[in-house]
Amino acid sequence: MTDGALVLAGTPMGQPGDASPRLREALATADIVAAEDTRRAKALAASLDVQIGGRLLSYYDQVEAQRAPKLVEAIAGGSTVLLITDAGMPSVSDPGYRLVAACADAGLRVTCLPGPSAVTTALAVSGMPSERFCFDGFAPRKPGARQDWLASLRTERRTVVFFESPHRLAQTLADAAAVLGDRRRGAVCRELTKTYEEVRRGGLGELAAWAADGVKGEITVVIAGADEIDSEADLDSVVASAAALAEAGARLKDACAQAAAGTPFSRREVYEAVLTARRS
């Protein structure tokens, strides 16, 4: 074991005052500062009245595989490498986990300076149960993959946290309302810790209607876990969910399978009920 180390540090999501004294010290003393965006790293240091003391190196998704071995080599040689991202905690839907894994495999020291995280901040202010939760990164971009993912949440008992682009938020919430039900509780957390922070709570149908007018900023979404599977689920509501998914572009059989998940009804029952409703 050398004296070198990889240091992960959470950075402010919007307010420089959220930076810890340890982050200030690390920026000034690390041999190498690996930053997702070097311009933002310089701006952060300036806002904290800190001079970056070591070499500043860009470290983002597209160069992570290329630069990780060189950083591992530097750490093995005794250097301290500070890894920061644009906001929040490295490795959480941001660059970092490959470097952490490589250092662990090499028997090198990895430590963390605790700091801001949009995941836990959104969970804390959402009003949803937080004893058990899961984080799913960014919602899938493609409609079919997104609907399949949402269908997998029908019986998920844990609170779910994920990131979403403001440009796709309205459609994702509309899909969520169709798959999970209008009344399933959710919260949309926008611009957390920043000047225009906003937290919207309500049923997924209500949130989808609100987002339809357009939403800006960094978005974190929280959805309540499923209640006990309803053995008396209403076939009409399941049929309505399947029809909404089909109207959104899903194949009818796939829509029926997604809508039937977590209910006592089979895909075939839902499919036949949808066809009957269309004929009537």
**pLDDT, tens digit, for every residue of 9-65?**
999 999 999 999 999 999 999 999 999 999 999 999 999 999 999 999 999 999 999
Distance, CA of 25 to CA of 57 (rounded, Å): 18
Statement: residue 1 has pLDDT above 50: no
- The answer, yes or no, to whether residue 199 has pLDDT greater than 60, is yes
| Amino acid 218: pLDDT | 95
Residue 259 — pLDDT band, cuts 50, 70, 90? confident
> Does the structure show a pLDDT above 90 at 118?
yes
d(CA 179, CA 190): 23
> What band does 2 get if pLDDT is binned at 50, 70 and 90?
low
- Residue among 74, 76, 97 nearest 85 (CA): 97
Question: Distance between CA atoms of 278 and 280, rounded to whole angstroms?
Answer: 6
Q: Minimal CA–CA distance to 275: which of 178, 175, 255, 248? A: 255
| Per-residue pLDDT at 108 | 97
Average pLDDT over every residue of 80-98: 93
pTM over 0.85: no
**Six-digit token string for 264:** 């006592």
Fold of the 119-223 domain: 3.30.950
Of residues 246 and 79, more confidence is placed in: 79
The highest-level CATH class for domain 5-116 is alpha beta
For 247-255, the CB contacts below 8 A with 24+ separation are: 248/143, 248/147, 248/174, 248/175, 248/178, 249/143, 249/144, 250/143, 250/144, 250/147, 254/144, 254/147, 254/148, 255/147
> Going by C-beta distance under 8 Å and a sequence separation of 6 or more, which residues neighbour residue 20?
10, 113, 114, 115
